[in-house]
Amino acid sequence: MTRILVSEVGPRDGLQSIKQVMPLAAKKAWIAAEAAAGVSEIEVGSFVPASLLPQMADTAELVAFARTIPGLNVVALVPNAKGAARAVEAGVHGMSIPFSMSETHSIKNVRKDHPAMLAEIAAVAQIAREAGIHFAVSLSTAFGCTFEGAVSEDAVMRLAEASLAAGAQEFSLSDTTGYADPAQVKRLVRKVRSVVGDKLTTLHLHNTRGLGLANALAGLDEGITTLDASLGGLGGCPYAPGASGNLVTEDLVLMLNAMGLDTGIDLEKLLAVRPILAAALPDEPLYGFTPEAGPMMDYNERIAK
């Protein structure tokens, strides 16, 4: 049975774009409950200045808490070398840096153009090597940008290759703006793989236009083994207008489990996590078809019938 890693990014990407700050106790309850449901990797936050994203001010405390959960891979986002140093000090198992393929978005998001970002990637890679932790580069806005429109696939390949030379250990392709379609996903995965090989493992998808699961399936067809998702579909990029809605973790797990793929996640237990978010964020809409309709019968039971 093929193993697919569902990486929960809700505590970071899900919370960074909403105005309300989720209480620390609720975040801890969320992380613990998802881990108990079988989620083996959680992006617990990002090491950005609290003045910019107050929702992420408690990330170091969350890393310390999450590290106490056996078997959980604790990861965080870092925007630069300073954030990477803080992440290492906090004790993360791994970290990723967003590298926008749209230079306009890069400047708005992290205030750096492409040459400056490649320098940051090299600096973060050195910090990661010295600390002995995993370091990934997220190729964001790879499928299109709300500021620049279409993004050149050749440029994505060139910047991915440059990131590899700078020290990236792993890559994800991010549909930051929800522009991707399944054919584009397949094409871009193949192109980026032609320059970075099997270091491209991950898709970070948004469901802004309802194509999240279709794009995930397209990625699986091309050998992608890790899919980012957010419980209740929370999130989006605060510096990409209109980019609402991450891929819904509950719906993704339903699809993968129904296909007979191994996620290691108990869907019933995962659905039981949702009330934690509803109670802590009463003004935030939660998305997903599965929580409304309920899970399907067990895969093996359906096959037997």
Query: Is 263 strand, coil or helix?
Result: coil
| Residues with catalytic roles | 237
* Residue 54 falls in which region: left (phi positive, over 0), alpha (psi -120 to 50) or beta: alpha
33 and 273 in contact (C-beta within 8 Å)?
Answer: yes
At 113, list the tokens: 């153009």
226 to each of 38, 173, 219, 222, 301, how far by Cα in Å? 15, 11, 9, 12, 26
What CA–CA distance (Å, rounded) separates 295 from 305?
A: 17
What CA–CA distance (Å, rounded) separates 239 from 237?
A: 5
Name every residue whose Cβ is closer than 8 Å to that of residue 87 and which is 6 or more positions away in sequence: 47, 63, 76, 78, 95
Query: Is 51 strand, coil or helix?
Result: coil
pLDDT for 44 equals 98
What CA–CA distance (Å, rounded) separates 222 from 251?
A: 20
pLDDT for 198 equals 97
In 156-188, which positions are buried (b, 16+ CB within 10 angstroms) versus exposed (e)?
bbebbebbbebbbebbbbbbbbbbbbbebbeeb
Name every residue whose Cβ is closer than 8 Å to that of residue 251 and which is 6 or more positions away in sequence: 212, 213, 288, 289, 290
Would you tell me how many other CB atoms lie within 10 Å of the CB of residue 1?
Answer: 7
What CA–CA distance (Å, rounded) separates 252 from 227?
A: 9
Query: Per-residue confidence of the chain (305 residues) as pLDDT tens digits?
Result: 789 999 999 999 999 888 889 999 999 999 999 999 999 999 999 999 999 899 999 999 999 999 999 999 999 999 999 999 999 999 999 999 999 999 999 998 888 999 999 999 999 999 999 999 999 999 999 999 988 999 999 999 999 999 999 999 999 999 998 999 999 999 999 999 999 999 999 999 999 889 999 999 999 999 999 999 999 999 865 554 544 579 999 999 999 999 999 999 999 999 999 999 999 999 998 999 999 888 876 655 655 55
Treating both helix axes as pointing N-terminal to C-terminal, what angle do 114-131 and 81-90 enclose, rounded to 10 degrees? 20
Instruction: Identify the CATH number of the domain defined by range 5-304.
Output: 3.20.20.70
What CA–CA distance (Å, rounded) separates 261 from 47?
A: 33
What CA–CA distance (Å, rounded) separates 110 from 124?
A: 15
At 169, list the tokens: 């250990």
